[in-house]
């Protein structure tokens, strides 16, 4: 199934984030696809805000994963796979412990770990720049 949001600006992010959160009830793995600067981290920040994350949300570019806690003690994992060189690095961080924890896993640059996602129920979020401050967001599930 698909859900498409066209002509998305910053003011529209809460609506997109809400749709992703609703789908994350059945799709704990959420993969964000888009070019550098498309707005993956910005959308993830809005999702975390709506979930009630109490820490500052930032892309875990060097750590690979950040763990956030919500005001209701829910755990949210935020991955950035941009810098991984091979799947061994993902095995080394114990990705299965995160993916099968029943917590939401928000993943930037999932194309770098695609073999690990092939048999999983993944919500794919495709973000495409249409203008300097506008995006098209496609949810596939």
- pLDDT reading at 104 higher than 90: yes
Q: Give the pLDDT band of residue 62 (cuts 50, 70, 90).
A: confident
- pLDDT reading at 61 higher than 90: no
- Segment 116-123 shows an average pLDDT of 93
User: What are residue 56's phi and psi, to 5 degrees?
Assistant: -70, 135
Q: What is the pTM of this model?
A: 0.95
Other Cβ atoms closer than 10 A to 24: 20
Domains: count for the chain: 1
What is the domain-level CATH number for residue 32? 3.40.50.300
- Domain span at residue 135 reads 2-140
For 21-59, the pLDDT digits (tens) are 999 999 999 999 999 999 999 999 999 999 999 999 998
CA distance 49 to 65: 18
């Amino acid at each position: 199934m698909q859900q498409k949001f066209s002509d998305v600006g910053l003011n529209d992010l809460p609506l997109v984030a809400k749709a992703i959160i609703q789908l994350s009830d059945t799709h704990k793995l959420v993969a964000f696809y888009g070019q550098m600067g498309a707005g993956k981290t910005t959308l993830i920040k809005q999702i975390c805000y709506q979930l009630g994350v109490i820490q500052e949300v930032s892309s875990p570019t060097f750590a690979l994963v950040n763990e956030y806690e919500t005001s209701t003690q829910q755990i949210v994992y935020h991955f950035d796979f941009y810098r991984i060189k091979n799947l061994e690095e993902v095995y080394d961080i114990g990705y299965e412990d995160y993916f099968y924890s029943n917590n939401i896993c928000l993943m930037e640059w999932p194309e770098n770990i695609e073999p690990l996602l092939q048999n999983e129920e993944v919500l794919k979020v495709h973000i495409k720049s249409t203008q300097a401050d506008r995006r098209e967001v496609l949810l596939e599930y």
